[in-house]
Amino acid sequence: MTLNALLRETIIGESVVREFMTVGIGDSVREKVYLKSGERISDITGRQWLLALDPRVLGVWVERGAPDDLPSENAACRMYFLDSAPTDERHVAREAVAVLDLEPFTRIEEKRGTLVLMKVTNSEIRHVPSWKARLLYTRFYKKPRFSFEKLKAVAAAYSYPRRVRIISFKESSEYNYIFPMDLLADISHAGLYLFGMRHSNRVLSKVTQQEQIVVSEVPAELKPLIYQLGKNHSASPPPLEQLPFATVQSREFGVHIPDWAEGYKELHIRRTLDLGSHMLLLAECAQETHLKPATPRLHHIHFLHHLHLKRAGLTYPTV
């Protein structure tokens, strides 16, 4: 171990500093997320998603018939991220490892519920002492257009593990795009899916023109293959025969997906909404297919959250 690595291990707790950690999570995520709107605090753990980064935008799904969970229009909200279930819901604010202040700016009404979109206005992180967070930012994270405030907001949002899935769509018989994403949301009980795609992503216009997309669930143990596909959303994809794995075609759309996918959903894109750096795509499920038993799935958590979990003895298996 080099001297610098030894110093990082001693001061920070890890010899290598990253922005995100990749972990494998099985049946359920341990973390909890709560939303405070007015005097109401609601458990929104399985129905909140990060959908854009500049500005930071989160979406919260509220089921039809649950008016008490619907934030007041244009009223400031506060989102609390906890590393596990609170000892008592009255202690949510005190036990949170990160906090986001949010401003609702629009709603999308659907048959089964409402998607509330909110922009981050302020953030607080408690994963590590403030001096250590500042040190990490100054030494490792500081770069053009990436402020300390943005670091805090991203670290807070990724204090809840964000699952990585594989996106596939077919532009023509010659081009089949396959790439990973984690800014997405599976609202399965409503038959809906959300995608937050960067405007700079060269395939965005192609996806919206085709109006058909397939999202696959994939095992965490194949992280190297998943990450190898990361360049495919910004460049012409390689011919299928040059991929380092075999593919199978989806049942309805005939889109190629990795043969190691555990299942997939075929989706029709119904609506788009500009969120700033990202475009929100709202899609409706046309077909769901299960192929293999589920295994631990690849998730992203922020490095600061990883340090907190490590200190608390709550770490997930890294991949």
> What is the per-residue pLDDT across 287-297, written as a single tens digit (0 to 9) for each?
999 999 999 99
In a domain, 11, yes or no: no
> Can you point out the beta strands (E) in 6-142?
20-25, 32-37, 40-43, 48-53, 56-63, 77-82, 98-110, 113-125
**Last-in-domain residue among 98, 128, 160:** 160
Q: How many CA atoms lie within 13 A of 202 on its CB side?
A: 11
- Are residues 236 and 146 located together in one domain of the fold? no
Whether 174 has a pLDDT exceeding 70, the answer reads no
Coil, strand or helix at 160: coil
In a domain, 144, yes or no: yes
* Torsion angles phi and psi, residue 308, rounded to 5: -65, -45
**Last-in-domain residue among 107, 126, 160:** 160
Q: Are 287 and 265 in contact (CB under 8 A)?
A: yes
Across the strands, what pairs with 119? 57, 103
Distance CA 76, CA 89 (A): 20
Q: Are 33 and 80 in contact (CB under 8 A)?
A: yes
- 48, with CB counted inside 10 A (0-12, 13-18, 19+), is buried
Please give the helix or strand (H or E) that residue 71 lies within, else none. none
Q: What is the pTM of this model?
A: 0.94
Q: Could you tell me the pLDDT band of residue 3, with boundaries at 50, 70 and 90?
A: very low
Mean pLDDT of 185-197: 96
- Are residues 98 and 111 located together in one domain of the fold? yes
Distance CA 94, CA 158 (A): 19
pLDDT in tens, 245-268: 999 999 999 999 999 999 999 999
In a domain, 82, yes or no: yes
Whether 209 has a pLDDT exceeding 80, the answer reads yes
Please give the helix or strand (H or E) that residue 265 lies within, else none. strand 263-274
In a domain, 319, yes or no: no
Residue 304 vs residue 203, higher pLDDT = 304
Residue 49 vs residue 143, higher pLDDT = 49
Residue whose C-alpha is closest to residue 1's, from 135, 19, 9, 311? 9
Which of 160-169, 171-180, 246-255 is least confident? 171-180
Domain extent, residue 177, equals: 162-298
Across the strands, what pairs with 37? 40, 77
In a domain, 118, yes or no: yes
| CATH, residue 91 | 2.30.110.10
How many separate domains does the chain show? 2
- Are residues 145 and 235 located together in one domain of the fold? no
Q: How many CB atoms lie within 10 A of CB 53?
A: 19
Whether 100 has a pLDDT exceeding 60, the answer reads yes
- Are residues 72 and 155 located together in one domain of the fold? yes
- Are residues 194 and 130 located together in one domain of the fold? no
| pLDDT-above-70 percentage for the chain | 94
Pairing status of strand 297-302 against strand 162-163: antiparallel
Look at phi and psi of residue 280 and say left if phi exceeds 0, alpha if psi is from -120 to 50, else beta: beta
- Residue 73's pLDDT is 77
Distance CA 153, CA 275 (A): 16
Helices (H) and strands (E) in the chain, counts: 7, 19
Residue 309 vs residue 71, higher pLDDT = 309
In a domain, 36, yes or no: yes
Which tokens belong to 189? 């009980």
- Are residues 166 and 281 located together in one domain of the fold? yes
- Are residues 35 and 152 located together in one domain of the fold? yes
* Torsion angles phi and psi, residue 123, rounded to 5: -150, 155
